[in-house]
Amino acid sequence: MKARLLYADRDLDWDAPPVPEAADLTRDLALDTLFDAMADGDDFLRDTARQVVLTSLTEPDAIVYRQRILGDFLRRPGLLTEMYRLVVETIDAEHRIWPTFLRSPTSIMHRAVQAMELYAGRLRELRRIADRYADDVRSPGLVRFLGMLRAELDDACFDVMDEHLRRLRFRNGVMVGARLGQGCKGTGYVLRRPGPRPSWRERLAGQGPPSYTYRLPDRDEAGARALAELRDRGVALAADALARSADHILGFLRMLDRELGFYLACLNLHRKLTAKGEPLCVPTPLPTGRPTLVCHGLYDTCLSLRREERVVGNDVDAEDTALLVVTGANEGGKTTFLRSVGLAQLMTQAGMFVSADSFTAGVRTRLFTHFRREEDEEMESGKLDEELARMSAIADEVTPGALVLFNESFAATNEREGSELGRQITGALLDCGVKVVLVTHLYGLAHGLYAGPPEGKAVFLRAERRADGTRTHRLVPGEPLPTSFGADLYRNVFGEPARTAAGPAPDPPAESPRDAPAPAASDLCPSPDVESSGVRDVTK
Amino acid sequence: MPFPSVLFADPAQRDAVAAQREPACYTDLNLDQIVSSLTAGRRSYQLEPFFYARLTDADAIAYRHEVFRDLEDQALSEGVARFAAGMREMRRRRDQAAKPRHPHQRDSLLVDTAETYCTAVRTLADVLDRADVASRALRSLRAFLAGYVRSEPFDELTEGVRRVRESLASVHYCMTVGAGKVTVTRYAGEADYGAEVLAAFEKFKQEEATSSRVSAPDFLDMNHIEEAVLDRVAMLFPDVFRTLEDFCTRHHDPLDPTVAAFDREVQFYLAYLELADRLRAAGLPLCFPEVSTTSKAVAGRDVFDLALAVKLVDDGTPVVTNDFELRGPERVLVVSGPNQGGKTTFARTVGQLHQLAALGCPVPGGEARLFLCDEVFTHFERGENLADLSGKLKDDLVRVRAILERATPAGLVIMNEVFTSTTLDDALLLGTRVLRKIIERDLLCVCVTFVDELSRLGPATVSMTSTVVPGDPAVRTYRIVRRPADGLSHALAIAEKYRLTYERLTDRITVRTAGRTTS
């Protein structure tokens, strides 16, 4: 009997270690905010949400399977809350049965019988809920689940339970079958159900099977203990069987607790976001082969959860695009946008709703984040090492079909080296079929990708900055622009221009980037004939 | 047919070895660590003397090389290991039977003893029959065993075991435990009730539930209730227990002394090969050295410190191998260069090679030509004397003199960082003096020193220096090469270090993806 509310064909492995990238994802995408909102103060729900969200689905069908179950629960929250309460109460009651610290078979048996009696009552109740809601559900997952409860938990099932609980009192002694093991010790003990007893007539006539009886002498206390041990060997087998059966039922309830818990956590999140008027949508998952990202009003779920007011959404139209490059001013909403992409991808692949008016994305095999770590800035010397070590850890795991989100990566060295590193790494990832979303202020890197992008379609976005210098926190399509930060600073400090006729220039001039690319970037962008559109489609 | 010994062409040598103590050089050369890892898990065989006693002629060495070569056949060495495991099991059962026990129980343990012994001997005989053995030792053993397993007493033993086993296995009974009594009957098809209970609740099963919570005590001792049950089982199956008694009166001590001696001595080879396999698995070769009693033109290719390699392989750290060669009048390897660890290791390596070769063992390296020296002398810095520097210098000199007094021209001297407790001038003076003496005696020598000049004492000295390993910066050992020191260091491209250049990264992803789809 399987709940199968998360997968049509299997269970989630709740004991599996988190994927290696989980810690970085949690930190970079601020997932704790998401999990807290889903938990609504319940640690169990938090843990459940965390595990499901971090175990991405990779098939569109599997995603739709969950989306439809979630849809049923959103329409009929009563079904979810009634079942969840029953399951939680039963598990709780099981915990309150006096625990056995003694490992003796007799005490284990006693406890198992109590647990079984509890389950018999609660499972009858679960069946009644299934009866009540059976006609209200449409999703294949819930239609199957409720149908299964009604078929498996029938009256015959409860009769069998009662029968076993009666027989396990062993009125006629405990019969144990055995063979001779090493050293003629009994081995292969099996609890046997005695056949019909020979009648008194057969026994008087000596017609029964041969049997020899050992009777314990009076006051042989050691013997009595040994005999009790032998009896316990038999009871142990039954106690073990019954305890395992009780474990099975508890396991079923625990699984149900987990699976229902995930949907309850989704409902918690749904309530919070809709309460402040944020739009939510059911995303459209596409197969991995299509690295599409098309969305309207995509916003950062976690940012919205932390604020009173609604947050700004973005539109992106990047169908079949393996490379998305975001450039532009600081404080321009680039990181927020990157987080919203990562969150939407994770939530889509968890079968959840997404924070957007509409969201269509290709399913990715894995999701990785490589964000610049601000707090590490003090240890300048080790910083590039740290960044590259993290990148190397990603390289150990990344496979074709994955998605890597880069946020200001490779900036721990000078622009020239950082750009070259970034060029090689993104180039290798793209050529291996890995989708890349890159937020960078490395002009050499962004411009190099713009001027001579790797094979396939690339989309370039820029943080919008009005003429008066204010930020809208929106991204608009646009080519990467060089900054004049370095040259300005030089001028401020030295009171003289950074560039002279003879000397090399660290930065391109702000005024006319296309006419005079910086020497540092020139070898990275061999074809300076750029277009004004942010979209390049180059098929080599 | 008599069989001498798998270790000694002349079995008389075996008796001389028994009292052998650990040679003085073992601690300095870390050979003591090698011996402990070789004998770990083999305490009961008392193999240490075999790993201490040097062989004195080339034929004795060849005798062991032949066996080592034969045992490179994996089927053969695995077969011998199976035989050894069988013999260990046999001894365990025999010890169990020796304790005070219920007579039926003791008898059944004696059957176990005989059975494991027969199986072990047969395994060994079969394996030797099928293998293509070339060594004198194993050929002679094969002939001995072929006769033994075909002998009438052995055949009778095997057949007896089979009969008793079969009848014991046929016993199947039931105990019904009631208040103050237990009734024993033959099994009559009663159903498995535990399975019925499990089946009734099977449908709730999610995954493998927590395994059995009830663990019954399990050891061979029986309480008197179990003994009472066994007595009644014997009454229910009288023929079975008569067969058992008959067997035990006839066969009480089946073990042959020749088989027992081989069982112990072959462990010498198995222990060494086990160690060799661990190293080979890590890509480190062992080779059969060419051993000469006359030529001091020694050489080694891709040699390494066995004790260090065992540790590094366990940690998964790569091991750097080295080459050396002495030609013509050359006798002394003078190792200098920056003090970063590789030099001492190299000096130990040369010492280990010569000692291991004298045991008739393969040596750590790709190829080796060695001198069968009569003793390896070591002079290593003694840390505990550091407090008193002048005392230390004196101690150094005393120890060097002792070595020079004892060493014959067939000796090998390993000196590591001697005379460090004095000025450079002193070290040069003393070092030169000592090395000159060694050269006069025509001794083979490895001398690790910070005094460069010692490498230029004449045609007998060869200069070796440590270098930085290009490539993987994770490698912390250094390669020692034949040349004067230079200060080359290699700056590594940082991305290359993390294997994140375009080519390396592409390779990593595609190789792993390909590996996944094929596996």
The single-letter code of the amino acid at B93 is R
Inform me whether the C-beta atom of residue A217 falls under 8 Å from chain B C-beta atoms.
Answer: no
Residues of B in contact with A175 (CB under 8 A): 174-177, 190
- Residue A492 to residue A486: CA distance in whole angstroms: 10
How many angstroms separate the CA atoms of A150 and A162, rounded? 19
B404 and B441 Cβ atoms separated by less than 8 Å:
yes
Is residue A125 domain-shared with residue A70, that is, in the same domain? yes
Measure the CA–CA gap between A538 and A423, rounded to whole angstroms: 17
Do A387 and A420 lie in one domain? The reply is yes
Query: Taking every pair of C-alpha atoms in chain A, what is the biggest distance, in angstroms?
Result: 126
Q: Do B194 and A241 touch (CB under 8 A)?
A: yes
Question: For residue B494, what are the contacts with CB-CB under 8 A and spacing of at least 6?
Answer: A384, A385, A388
For residues A28-56, give the mean pLDDT: 96
Query: How far is residue B133 from each of residues A297, B64, B190, B272, B363, measured CA to CA in Å?
Result: 80, 13, 55, 19, 22
CA angle A272, A278, A283 (to 5 degrees): 100
Q: What is the distance in angstroms between the Cα of A298 and the nearest Cα belonging to chain B?
A: 31
Residue of B nearest to A248 (CA): B205
What is the tens place of the pLDDT at every residue in A493-510? 344 554 443 434 344 333
Q: How many Å apart are CA A499 and CA A482, to the nearest integer?
A: 16
- Mutate: best of B175, B184, B185, partner A, most A CBs <10 A: B175
Residue A180 domain-assigned?
Answer: no
- Note whether A182 contacts B229, CB cutoff 8 Å: no
Tell me whether residues B236 and A177 touch, CB distance under 8 A.
no
Q: Quick check: B174 and A223 CB within 8 A?
A: no
For residue B147, the surrounding DSSP H or E stretch is: helix B136-149
Nearest to A183 among B109, B224, B228 (CB): B109
Q: With H, G, I as helix, E, B as strand and everything else as coil, classify residue A326.
A: strand
Q: Residue B248 and residue B240: Cα distance in Å, rounded?
A: 13
* Chain B touched by A182 (CB under 8 Å): yes
Return the amino acid letter for B434. V
Q: How high is the pLDDT of residue B242?
A: 93
Interface of A with B in 506-535 (CB under 8 A): none
| Cα A78 versus chain centre, distance | 26
Whether the CB-CB separation of A539 and A462 falls below 8 Å is answered with no
Query: Which of B179, B201, B220 shows the shortest C-beta gap to A185?
Result: B220
Q: What residues in B contact A425, CB-CB < 8 Å?
A: 500, 502, 505
Cβ of A103 within 8 Å of Cβ of B215? The answer is yes
Mean pLDDT of A108-119: 86
Same domain, A139 and A270: yes
User: What are the residues facing A536 on neighbouring strands?
Assistant: A458
Burial B41-74 (b: 16+ CB within 10 A, else e): ebeebebbbbbbbbbeeeebbbbbbbbbebbebe
Write down the pLDDT at residue A508: 39
Residue B90: half-sphere exposure toward Cβ, Cα within 13 Å: 22
Write phi, then psi, for B456 (nearest 5 degrees).
Answer: -120, 35
Which residue carries 């002694």 as its tokens? Answer: A173
Q: What is the pLDDT of residue B80?
A: 94
Closest CA to A361 of A337, A380, A345, A338: A345
Total domains in the fold of chain A: 2
One DSSP character per residue, A262-278 reads HHHHHHHHHHHHHHTT-
Residue A238 in any domain: the answer is no
In a domain, A450, yes or no: yes
CB A36 within 8 A of CB A265: no
Ranges of chain B with pLDDT below 50: 209-218, 384-389, 472-477, 485-492, 518-519
What is the structure's pLDDT at B229?
Answer: 93
Domain match, A331 and A254 both: no
Is A234 in Cβ contact with B225 (below 8 Å)?
no
Can you give the pTM of this predicted structure? 0.55
Report which residue type is found at A382: G
Of the candidates B171, B203, B508, the beta carbon closest to that of A395 is on: B508
Do both A263 and A337 map to the same domain?
no
Going from N- to C-terminal start, the domains of chain B cover 12-168+253-265, 282-488
B152: tokens are: 């009438």
Q: What is the DSSP string of B280-298?
A: HHTT--EEPPEEESS----
Q: Do A213 and B181 touch (CB under 8 A)?
A: yes
With CA atoms as reference, report the closest residue to B464 among B447, B477, B476: B447
What average pLDDT does this structure show over A398-425?
Answer: 83
Q: How far is A161 from chain B (nearest CA, A)?
A: 8
If phi over 0 gives left and psi between -120 and 50 gives alpha, with beta otherwise, what is residue A503?
Answer: beta
In a domain, A306, yes or no: yes
- Residue A508 falls inside a structural domain: no
Q: Check CB contact under 8 Å for B195 and A241.
A: yes
| pLDDT bracket for residue A511 (50, 70, 90) | very low
Q: What is the pLDDT of residue B510?
A: 87
Cβ of B200 within 8 Å of Cβ of A184? The answer is no
How far A540 CA lies from chain B's nearest CA (Å)?
A: 18
B325-380 pLDDT, tens digit per residue, is 999 999 999 988 655 557 888 999 999 999 999 999 999 999 999 999 999 999 98
CA distance B377 to B373: 10
- Do the Cβ atoms of B173 and A239 come within 8 Å? no
Instruction: Kindly report the nearest CA distance between residue B235 and chain A, in angstroms.
Output: 8
Sign of the dihedral defined by the CA atoms of residues B236, B237, B238, B242, in that order: negative
A411 secondary structure, DSSP code: T
For residue A195, give the nearest of B181, B190, B223 by CB distance. Answer: B190
Same domain, A334 and A269: no
The total number of residues shown for chain B amounts to: 519
Give the closest of A213, A215, A428 to B505, CB-based.
Answer: A428
**Of the candidates B105, B183, B212, which has its C-beta nearest A184's C-beta?**
B105
Q: Nearest-CA residue of chain A relative to B97? A: A183
> Could you tell me if residue A196 is inside a domain?
no
Contact between B500 and A424 using a beta-carbon 8 Å cutoff: yes
What confidence category does residue A34 fall into, taking pLDDT thresholds of 50, 70 and 90? very high
CA distances from B320 to B282, B334, B346, B477, B478 (A): 12, 19, 10, 6, 7
Confidence of residue A206 (pLDDT cuts 50, 70, 90): low
Classify burial at B313, counting beta carbons within 10 Å of its beta carbon; exposed 0-12, middle 13-18, buried 19 or more.
Answer: middle
Alpha-carbon span A476 to A460, nearest angstrom: 9
CATH number of A415's domain:
3.40.50.300
User: Residue B367 and residue A116: Cα distance in Å, rounded?
Assistant: 71
What are the φ and ψ backbone dihedral angles of B60, each rounded to 5 degrees?
Answer: -60, -35
Q: With respect to residue A512, please indicate whether it lies within any of the assigned structural domains.
A: no
Report d(CA A497, CA B145) in Å as an integer: 96
The conformation of residue A471, written as its DSSP 8-state character, comes to E
Pairwise CB contact (< 8 Å): A395 & B499: yes
Q: Give the count of beta carbons closer than 10 Å to the beta carbon of residue B168.
A: 20
In a domain, A254, yes or no: yes
Q: What's the confidence (pLDDT) of residue B201?
A: 74
pLDDT digits (tens, 9 = 90+) for A320-362: 999 999 987 666 688 899 999 999 999 999 999 999 999 999 9
Q: Is residue A491's pLDDT more than 60?
A: no
> Chain B neighbours among A 152-171 (CB < 8 Å)?
152, 160-161, 164, 168
Instruction: Report yes or no: B348 and B272 within 8 Å, Cβ to Cβ.
Output: no
Instruction: Flag whether pLDDT at A535 surpasses 80.
Output: no
User: Which 8-state DSSP code applies to residue B469?
Assistant: P
Q: Are residues A260 and A325 in the same domain?
A: no
pLDDT at B512 (0 to 100): 76
- Closest C-alpha among A100, A107, A170 to residue B194: A170
Which residue does chain A place closest to B181, by CA atoms?
A215
Cα separation, A495 vs A489, in Å, equals 9
Q: Determine the residue among B101, B183, B187, B197 to mutate to test chain A binding: the one whose Cβ has the most chain A Cβ atoms within 10 Å.
A: B197
Task: Identify any residues that bridge with B286 across adjacent strands, giving them in sequence order.
Answer: B364
The domain of A416 spans: 284-482+518-538
Is residue A263 located within the same domain as residue A382? no
Pick B108's closest partner by Cβ from A184, A384, A398.
Answer: A184
Task: Mark yes or no for CB contact B216/A233 under 8 Å.
Answer: yes
Nearest by CB to residue A237, choosing from B175, B194, B209, is B194
Q: How far is B452 from chain A (nearest CA, A)?
A: 37
Residue A514 — pLDDT band, cuts 50, 70, 90? very low
Residue A194, pLDDT above cutoff 60: yes
Contact residues on chain B for A245, CB-CB shorter than 8 A: 197-198, 200-202, 204
A324 and A419 belong to one structural domain:
yes
- The separation between CA A513 and the C-alpha centre of its own chain, rounded to angstroms, equals 44
The encoded tokens of residue B271 equal: 């222990």
Three-state SS for A95-131 is HHCCCCCCCCHHHHHHHHHHHHHHHHHHHHHHHHHHH
Q: Does residue A453 sit in the same domain as residue A527?
A: yes
Task: Give dist(CA B503, CA B48) in Å, integer.
Answer: 52
Nearest by CB: A255 against B206, B215, B223: B206
Query: Would you state the pLDDT for residue B125?
Result: 94
pLDDT digits (tens, 9 = 90+) for A89-113: 999 999 888 766 666 787 888 888 8
Phi/psi at B438 (nearest 5 deg)?
Answer: -60, -40
CB-based contact B324:B318 (threshold 8 Å): no
Q: In this complex, is the C-beta atom of A178 within 8 Å of any C-beta atom belonging to chain B?
A: yes
Which fold does the domain B282-488 belong to in CATH? Rossmann fold (3.40.50)
* Helices (runs of H) and strands (runs of E) counted in chain B: 19, 15
Residue among B96, B182, B197 whose CB faces A241 most closely: B197
DSSP string, B421-483: TS-HHHHHHHHHHHHHHHHHTT-EEEEE-S-GGGGGSSTTEEEEEEEPPSS-TT--S-EEESS
